[in-house]
Structure formats: structure tokens, C-alpha cells
Amino acid sequence: MPSNPPLLALLLHGHLPFVRHPEHGDFLEERWLFEAITEVYVPLLQVIEGLRRDRVPHRLALSLSPTLLDMLDDPLLQRRFVRHVDLRLEFAERELTRTAGDERLRRVVELHRELFRRARDCFVDEHGSSLVPAFRRLQEAGSLELLTCGATHGFLPLLAASPGAVEAQVSVAIAEHRRFFAAAPAGFWLPECGFAPGLDEVLARHEVRWSVVESHGILDAVPAPVHGTFAPVVAPSGVAFYGRDAETSRAVWSAAEGYPGNAAYRDFHVDVGFERPSEELRTLLPPTGDRVPVGFKYLRVTGAGRTKEPYDPDLAAERVERDAADFVDGLARRIGAASALMRRPPVVLAPYDAELFGHWWFEGPAWLDRVARRIADGSPGFELGTPSDDLARNPVVQQAMPAASSWGEHGDASVWIAPGNDWIPRHLDGACERMRAVATEMRGATGLARRALAQAARELLLAQASDWPFLISRGTAANYAEARVRAHLGRFARLHDDLRRGTLDEAWLAEVERRDDVFPEIDPEVYTGGGRRPAV
């Protein structure tokens, strides 16, 4: 292979909204984190460690959002995760007894028991209940390039209307990344791939070298890109932007054409939590007794009808091998054709939500493993690398300004300002203006006042999470999402007003700090500069 070969840049975006409820012993939405640890992050670590053990060349990019990092590092959530897994291991033993007469079903139960057992062993015994240092070690070893994103995953094009809002999202995120990884990230994941001209200037002020936009963000750039999405463009601010490759996205994401919909793969939607009698599930259901997924899914996709066949691990493994080969071989043909037309080696940027691999697509981690091994063994004419690798090898980049874009439905901001959630932006704008004013007025505050300013900043950032309007627009956990926005804005308003009046209640503040304890080193004066307002 040439010394400067084409690259496949696989980028997994790891993010969850901050969900932590110490006031409850068992809170349903905390399971989002527990499921992600079990099905996504532990399997991902195992895949990468397996590649390292077998000396398979590999290098991936992984964004870890500040809220996800804070939750992974939280002792309360760590203890609750272990309890979550232990309850499922107990249930698996009961299920093995129940399915003793059905060899096919019993085999699938054993598969799930092993999934939870591996997750517990990896989390507790191998990593001391904290996965963050493991990711840091893999970056230091060269397996991963870690990047950050907005502090709470705020949709930056809409936040840009309020001076200081984007600056706070970026500044706090980079500070958190430094706290966990002792280094600043070269890359910055724009939440929801949301971009508008001017946002690049904020990234540039924080010495971000590269970011990612949706395909049309590059294809509609000004001037037009010479190489389409097979090469980055660099904005006048100096930040390089890579466009999501449409073909690799369709192969994995598409409900109609993507690999996860194959009949051999495990069906995500059919969960025992909706199938078995409630009394059998009593330890796994929430205190309300509501029917929810519990993590045991015994059937495969099978087909379009309602009748489903039991999951067959061997059949799925065969399909993983075929789909990995199809992905690598198809990409080799496309890269070969592009190489003949380009003066620089092509780079294919393939970004995905990390939760696709293992959670939504159970076989996704195995597919990643087989793709990496096939690239290493098959000499397809390209290798795995990251955008930073590409920029180091190919520093001459066409200058162009990416177009406003997102990877949301319709490719714009409409998901985050739609009927049902369109009331949120104006409240966020007003709160940001008040935050900037009070932080400026009380610059240099100490003691209780500074604690209150810091908590007000936390509450505002948490209210800005793009997850809440997204969930409302999709009708998924919409009541919880709306309640979270209103709760954070309400707490912010009280903190702001008490600061103005000098009537701070230390006991109440301490309770809010205990509940929303994200970003322990936040500096509220991040709002006092504001910076230039990005054009939208």
C-alpha cells in the first residue's frame, strides 16, 4: 500500500443526555445509560482490545459528549448500573429454567446471560466501574482519536441567536474534555451535525482543527467543492470540515436498504418486557409496573410479517461476515474510482451514532470488528484512519464555507423547532440573556454567590440539550423531555432572581447542586465574553 493511502474514517458519536435522579431509588430514564454501557460501550472496548491483542491495524474516531462522560464517571450511576445488570443476571437464570425444553430459545437466553455477565465483568473487574480511563488509554495507545461535542449537545444554529450561548457550549465542552483526557481535542462534533456559517469562528477561537457536517453542508459549500465529500474543505477561519459520506451512511442507517434490517439479525423491537406476564418481570419493570423493554430480545427480524423466528447466532454471524465484505468491497470500488479523478488520496468520512452498534443493531460491534479485520487482511486499497490523520498527510485543503445544514430530517433545523417544541428557543434565548447579564454584573463573585452562578450556568446548559426538543418532536418520552426543560429553566429563574435580590437559600442550592451535579469545574464567567454572534 502507498505511504499516503486513501482513508476510511469511521467516527462513532457517543452521547446521552444528562439523566441522574438521586431523589429516586429507581428511575426509568437512567436505563438509557445502563443499556448503552451493556450493549454499546463495553462491546466497543472489547472489539478494540481484541484488535489490539491480535495486532490488527485499526484506528477509529470516537466523540464522547461531556454529559455522557460525567455520567460514566458518576459513583451513584456506577452503583446503579451494577444493580441493573445483577437483576438481569438473576432473571436470566429463571429464564434458563423456563426455556429448558426449547433448545433454540434456551440458546438465545444463554447468549443474553453471557452479554450481561461480560458487561459486569468488564465494567467491575477489568475497569473498576469506570470506563473513561479505558478510553483514555486507547487514545494514548493510538487506537482511538477522541473528540468532544457541545457541552449538553445543544443545537448550535438555534442557540447562535443568543450571544454567549454557543461560546459556553464549546468552552465548557473543551474544558471537560481536558479534565478527563488531559489534552484538548483536535476534533469537535457539531451536535446533530448542525452548522451555520459563523459557528466555525467559535471553534477556531478554541483551536479546533476539524469538524463534521452533513453531506449537503459540503456539496452546497461556497465555492463548490472540487472533490465533493471525498475531501474536506477549510473555512476562512481555518477549521476543516468533512462531509458525511452518503453511501456508507445508507448502507448502515437506511431502514429499507441498511444491513441492520436483514432477516438474520436480532429484532430490536420484540422485547420480553412486553411479552411475558408481569409477575415474571417484577424485578425488571419500573416501580409503576409500566411495560418497558428489559433487554431480552429472543427473535430475529425474519421478515415483514408478524410471525418471527427465534434468533440464531450462527446465522447472524454468517450474515455479519457477508455484510462486512460487502461494505469493504463496495467502498474499495468507490475509492478506486475516486482516486483516478483526484490529485489527493480520497477520505471517506462515515459517522454514526455509537448506539447504533450494539443497541439498535445488536450485531453492530461484530460488524465493526469484521470490517477492521477485512481491511487489514484484504488489501482493499485504503486503510482506517481519522480526520486528524488525513490533515497531517494532506495539509493542503480547498477553502470554502460549508452551507447551513444538519443530519436531522429535511437536513435543517426543523426537527428542533417544530410544533410542540417551538416554544423552547425563545425561553432559552431569554435565559441566556439574563445569564450573561448577571454573570457580567457579578464577575469575580465568591462563596455562595459564585456557587449559585455556577449552578445557574449548569441549569441553562442542561435546558439547552437538543435531546429534549427531539424527543418532543418524535413523541418519545415527550412528557419527560418537556418536564426536564421546564425544570431546568425554573431552577435557573429562581437562581437568577435570588442572586439579583440577595436572597439565596443555601439549603435549596445544595439540593439542586446534588441533583444536577454536572460539570464540577464550570466557570460561570464563560458567559461574560459572549464573543461575536455567528450569522445564521
Q: Which residues are catalytically annotated?
A: 192, 353
Amino acid (1-letter code) at residue 80: R
Residue matched to cell numbers 409500566: 290
Secondary structure (H, E, C), 498-514: HHHHCCCCHHHHHHHHH
**Residue among 88, 69, 85, 86 nearest 20 (CA):** 69
Distance CA 36, CA 16 (A): 9
**Residue among 383, 15, 37, 403 nearest 189 (CA):** 15
Beta bridge partners of 241: 211, 233
Quick one: DSSP state of residue 212? E
Q: In this structure, what C-alpha cell is assigned to residue 438?
A: 448577571
Residue matched to cell numbers 445544595: 510
Beta bridge partners of 8: 348, 384
The Cβ of residue 529 has, within 10 Å, a number of other Cβ atoms equal to 16
Per-residue CA distances from 280 to 34, 84, 268, 457 (Å): 21, 16, 21, 45
**Residue among 321, 311, 209, 306 nearest 259 (CA):** 321
Beta bridge partners of 13: 63, 353
**Residues 6 or more apart whose Cβ sits within 8 Å of residue 68:** 14, 15, 16, 33
**Residue among 375, 387, 338 nearest 1 (CA):** 375
Q: In this structure, what C-alpha cell is assigned to residue 453?
A: 452562578
Phi-psi region of 192 (alpha: psi -120 to 50; beta: other; left: phi over 0): left
